[in-house]
Structure 1
Amino acid sequence: MNAVKSRSYITVLLHILVWMLFSFVLLFYMPLTWSIEVPYQLWIKQGCELVFLITIFYVNSGILVPKLLLRNNSLGYLLAIVGFVIVGTVMVRYLDNILNLAVLITEAFHKIGITKLPRHNDKLDIFLIMMILLIIGISTSVTLIQKWQANKQLQEALEKDRIGSELSFLKAQINPHFFFNTLNNIYALTHVDVEKSRNALHKLSRMMRYLLYDTQAGSTPLSKEVSFIVDYIELMKLRLNDTTKVIFEGPLINNDIQIAPMLFLPYIENAFKHGVSSTSSSVISIELSMEENTLEMKVQNSIFNENAEIADNYGGIGLTNTKRRLDLLYPGKHTFSAGKTEDTNEFIVHLTLMLDDTELYSGRR
């Protein structure tokens, strides 16, 4: 609200300064170039012209441009401009006649010895016409720029709402699938080890609390997201046997930056889905690293299902949706690659986020 008021004050101040400049040109500059005693009637005429120009500016800005030009009524707009020129010309001739300016200025020049004056076109005041066209040009340009800025702000607001809705939908797709898998794991564990199942339920409740209360703002501290990933990995390891080795390397967090919540989980969940075998040895490697303004994630897992080579089902939401989420959250500030290596039977996901200063410093205390 304060920012809006500040912009309004600045706009009003700019208008005042511009009209002060035009006032100086019309009321002072031209008469000062004459070496005569300027009759006061000339000031009256120039003042009327200034009021006329101000009227043109705001009538054009508030009525003609939005009602005619922006509605593709170019002919009506041109006729209105011609009408301004005609009214201005008639007004000047009328003022010259009732104020008797031609005689007064001639007498003023005669007093200083100038008897031969340049011929003046009584029909057209070229200076006034040029001023009218200049004012209309400035008024039209300012109005069109303001309209463009308003449309841009509206589009940005609509795009922001659309992105928020789409991200909410994507997030809603991620969370139920994750809980469905985790609850199945805990259910299976209750038949084997009750104490471990209790610990697993505690971890799950902590993760649910994180999702319900810590991710609603659309961003979350990196430390909490890492803790969430650790809890998820620990829950998934409960159902694994000795043939699967899970390696996790977290980043050294000096400054707790803000990132989008649940950003890495689909790729980690995919690694557990396709990288686990009950008979063959496998390795799941998850690495998060942070260097200056770059956050990097690398997930690597063995492949036992040839269909996983396509890898179009990340965490139950689809590779297309996960890429779309990255495009919405970090447009132009991320790199992403996913695919099977040629020399080894492994699938590697590599994601790099380039964070700006707002994200880097928003998490600092």
Structure 2
Amino acid sequence: MKQKQVLLLHVFYWLLIIFNGLLSRAVYSKSGLDVLDVTIFLANFLGFYVNYFFIAPRFFNPNRFYMMIVVFFVGVFVFVLFRYSMEELLLPALTGFRNYAEGTTFLYYFYDNIYYSSLTVFVSTNLWFFKYYFKVEEERNRLVEERKHAQLQALKTQINPHFIFNSLNNIYSLVYQNSDKALPAIEKLSELLRYSTKDLEKDVISLDKEIGYIESLIGLEKLRIKNPELLIIEKNINHPKINISPMLLVPFVENAFKHGDFRDKGFVLKVSDDNKVLHFYLHNYKNQKVKDTASGIGIDNVKKRLEILYPKKHELYIKDLESEFIVDLRIIFPYEND
């Protein structure tokens, strides 16, 4: 799109030059096409694009501003060289006509044409700057996007091992107790791993899949909880196919199970997407006997991903109280989800 804008500036400049030529002929009551009109137009055109494609790119140095003066005078020299060759060498040889008096030196010709060439060199150099700036801007945006993608991939790879580690600990506990729930737990974990292995490679998944992860995780955890009825889940999803980054909500639920008190307490989980604003609310009670110094890994991970994926489009409130932990997250989905 930006390259198209530069092209339109080129077209506009040459239309302006042609219009100015026609206007001057009308003002000065000239008729017919003067050969000098052709030669100066050709000198302008050739000087313009030699400067645009070769001189400005060759001499420009952002650390040496004085080189722009060099660009200007080299551009003027090229313009003068083209015009001098046509008007003082080619025309006299073909027609016997010349623009300047015979014997005019090249130095005089150069000095006299600084005025006529200045606009051409100035506009040509500035249009090259536009193209250069757009190219640099596109490259910068590309590098930013690549860095964001690399960060997200790194963050997502942190989630999977952390998630597996916690689940294996739970299953180990069930196996150690010879619980009948061990086999169903392994089946649940296998189901979760199939989901995560397949979908973590994607940039986005549907909201119903993300909630499916959460429901599978809760189903796995219910196998080890004495009072699973205390896990209150309220779901009101109107746009199940809306896109969301995979494993963005799961760490909050995982954190609740890892550090929550489920002996005679549960948690409240509410998920809704009214007006395409995702509202995720989770309230659980802490297990005061468990103090894990690594408890913040999953939460910090989500915070970083939210900043990258939804800058100024999300609100995350976390209340880390003495005996309670509350997460209140809202995400405004981007327009491409419409």
TM class by shorter chain equals 0.7 to 0.9
Give the conservation status (yes or no) of the 8 Å contact 2:25–2:31. no
Q: Deviations over 1:74-124 (max 9, x none)?
A: 334313423544665684798389535699xxxxxxxxxxxxxxxxxx989
Residue of structure 1 equivalent to 2:70: 79
* Structure 1 gap segments, 5+ residues each: 1-5, 104-121
SS in 2 for 1:172: helix
Which letter maps to 2:276? N
Which amino acid in 2 is paired with 1:224?
A: K
Name 1:291's counterpart in structure 2: 274
Question: Of residues 119, 124, 133 in structure 1, which corresponds to 2:118?
Answer: 133
Q: How many residues align?
A: 324
Secondary structure, counterpart of 1:282 in structure 2: coil
Cα root mean square deviation, aligned: 3.5
Q: Verify the 8 A CA contact 1:244 1:277 in the aligned structure 2.
A: no
Question: Which residue, 308, 313, 318 being the options, matches 2:295?
Answer: 313
After TM superposition, give the deviation of residue 138 of structure 1 in Å. 2.4
3-state DSSP class of the match of 1:313?
coil
Task: Provide the C-alpha distance between the structure 2 equivalents of 1:7 and 1:231, rounded to a whole number of angstroms.
Answer: 47
Which ranges in structure 2 are unaligned for 5 or more consecutive residues? Answer: 102-107
The aligned counterpart of 1:330 is: 310
SS at match of 2:209: helix
For 1:276, what is the secondary structure of its paired residue?
Answer: coil
CA gap 1:295/1:131 in 2 versus in 1, 3 angstroms: farther
Percent sequence identity over aligned pairs: 27
Match status 1:203 vs 2:197? no
**Is the alpha carbon distance of 1:284 and 1:207 closer, same or farther for their aligned partners in structure 2, counting shifts above 3 Å?**
same
Counterparts in 2 of 1:307 and 1:333: CA distance versus 1, 3 Å:
farther
| Separation in structure 1 between the aligned mates of residue 279 and residue 250 of structure 2, nearest angstrom | 14
Conserved? CA contact 1:298–1:350, under 8 Å: yes
1:247 partner SS = strand
Structure 2 residue aligned with 1:185, among 170, 182, 189? 170
Q: Distance in 1 between matches of 2:174 and 2:76?
A: 88
The reply to whether residue 352 of structure 1 matches residue 330 of structure 2 is: yes
Provide the C-alpha distance between the structure 1 equivalents of 2:30 and 2:58, rounded to a whole number of angstroms: 46
Could you tell me how far apart the structure 2 residues matched to 1:133 and 1:101 are? 20
TM-score for the superposition, normalised by structure 2: 0.81
Cα distance change, pair 246–158 in 1 and its aligned pair in 2 (3 A): same
What amino acid is the match of 2:295? N
Moved more, 323-332 or 9-18: 9-18
Residue 225 of structure 1 deviates from its aligned partner by 0.7
Distance 1:306 1:143 in 2: 68
Does the aligned pair in 2 maintain the 1:244–1:276 contact within 8 Å? no
Per-residue CA deviations over 1:261-286 (Å, capped at 9, x if unaligned) read 000111111111222254xx323112
